[in-house]
Structure 1
């Protein structure tokens, strides 16, 4: 009985660990947009690196979506370097 429990527990742990998503796979799924027009179709206010960043460019219409991974994938579109890409 103990051996059956040990095998079942080991198998459950092995399957549970292998079913967890890799962080490298999760980062690979972040979409990179070719320009701000494409990014603003999905995120009207642009993409901010964190919720504490402030917009340097002036008044905007929309609040930016906050996502560090998405910002990092599209930081080439942050022309004023305020950590908000494609703000509108």
Structure 2
């Protein structure tokens, strides 16, 4: 098998084998300003790529606080706004599955978009 083809297979396999773990800062290191997650990628061949840090989604107490970061709300990828009457759908919300999952409690109409507003 050629090196190019092998690298394509390894990259595809790596995308399916994500392993998440909590980030632990080394002793004596200053604490990070936001929680972090270490993402480690393992290929089917057993090789492990270098871990990288990914920020965890923030859980907001209410929509006012969420709107400071996500102006038009946050929703799952592929979600559509449910409207009543002749209102226009909100389409410019941020699509982020992790942020929506952390703030699902703010989705009053259960349409997959938390705190949607025009």
Aligned partners of 1:44 and 1:62 also within 8 Å: no
| 1:5-84 pair list within 5 angstroms | 17=48, 19-21=50-52, 26=54, 29-50=56-77, 52-57=78-83, 58-59=87-88, 63-84=92-113
Looking at secondary structure, tell me which structure has more helix per residue: 1
1:59 Cα offset (Å): 2.2
SS at match of 2:100: helix
The reply to whether residue 85 of structure 1 matches residue 85 of structure 2 is no
Report deviation, 1:29: 2.0
Could you tell me which runs of 5 or more consecutive residues in structure 2 were left unpaired when the two chains were aligned. Answer: 1-47
Structure 1 residue runs of 4+, over 3 Å off?
none
TM-score (norm 2): 0.50
CA RMSD of aligned residues (A): 2.4
Could you say which structure has the larger radius of gyration?
Answer: 1
Give the number of aligned pairs.
Answer: 68
- Distance of aligned partners of 1:53 and 1:18 in 2 relative to their CA distance in 1, 3 Å threshold: closer
Q: TM-score, normalised by structure 1?
A: 0.65
* Richer in strand (by share): 2
